[in-house]
Amino acid sequence: MYRTGFFGRSSAARWACLTVIALGIGCVGFALVGIARPIDSLSGYPGTSTGRSVANTNGSAASMAVLAHPKVGNKLGVLSIPSLGQKFPIVEGTSATELQRGVGHFRGSVMPGGKDNCVLSGHRDTVFTKLGSLKKGDRLVVTTAAGKFTYKITQTRIVQADNKTVVVHSDHAVLTVTTCYPFRFVGSAPDRFVLVADLVAGK
């Protein structure tokens, strides 16, 4: 009897169908892995450590709060973006686990308000979907146990994922915010969108 459908096809035809299905599943899996992957492998940047920062060592209670790094996974504050009407929790660490909960603080950088480079990262498809609409002069506000720190954006740039200038030391208080780029890229994005902002007010 003549058979129709998948099982009635020749062996070559069945193998061709199975190959197409397997390739389709593989492409979807690759895209999902790229989306779920941590924002950066920031630990590979030079001049970083997991110890305490050396900023604002005047001995005040606020400066000591700036110095103290919480445990990985602990919430350390809130990032507010007034021009977008958005607020996000800041969590210590930048692994996939921390970035699922909000904006991650890179442990190799100073705490918010510190006299050096404070680095925050977040996913482009969760917390930072609108980050690309920010421009020079816009404000970023970080609130922690040490106080409220307001930063003004001084530059935006796009760099390759392995660019080493995202985490660098600064002679003044700077906030660097990074996310993957392009924003609508499917899979593991090749670049990073970077905002740099100077501290203009803090207490």
Q: What is the pLDDT of residue 158?
A: 94
Indicate if 24 and 111 belong to the same structural domain. no
Clarify whether residues 26 and 45 are in a common domain.
no
User: Out of 69, 105, 118, 123, which one is annotated catalytic?
Assistant: 123
Model pLDDT, residue 18:
60
**DSSP 8-state class, residue 110:** P
Residues 20 and 109 grouped into a single domain: no
* Pair (181, 96) in one structural domain: yes
Q: Note whether 185 and 147 are same-domain residues.
A: yes
CATH number of the domain bearing residue 161: 2.40.260.10
Containing structural domain, residue 90: 39-202
Query: Does residue 178 sit in the same domain as residue 145?
Result: yes
Instruction: Check residue 57 and give its pLDDT.
Output: 34
Is 27 catalytic? The answer is no
Do the Cβ atoms of 108 and 154 come closer than 8 Å? no
Asked if 60 and 2 sit in the same domain, the reply is no
123 a catalytic residue:
yes
pLDDT reported for residue 187: 77
Among candidate residues 69, 105, 118, 180, the one labeled active-site is 180
Give the span between the Cα atoms of 49 and 174, in whole angstroms: 17
Angle at 173 between CA 72 and CA 176, to 5 degrees: 60
**Residue 94 CB partners (closer than 8 Å, separation 6+):** 38, 39, 40, 42, 104, 105, 106, 107, 121
Q: Are residues 60 and 108 in the same domain?
A: yes
Residues 51 and 131 reside in one and the same domain: yes
Question: Are residues 161 and 103 part of one domain?
Answer: yes
Tally of structural domains, the chain: 2
Instruction: Give the chain's residues under pLDDT 50.
Output: 1-4, 6-7, 27-65
Which pLDDT does position 194 carry in this prediction?
96
Task: Looking at the structure, tell me whether residues 170 and 118 fall in a common domain.
Answer: yes
Q: Identify the helix (H) or strand (E) that includes residue 60.
A: none
Q: Could you tell me if 77 and 138 lie in one domain?
A: yes
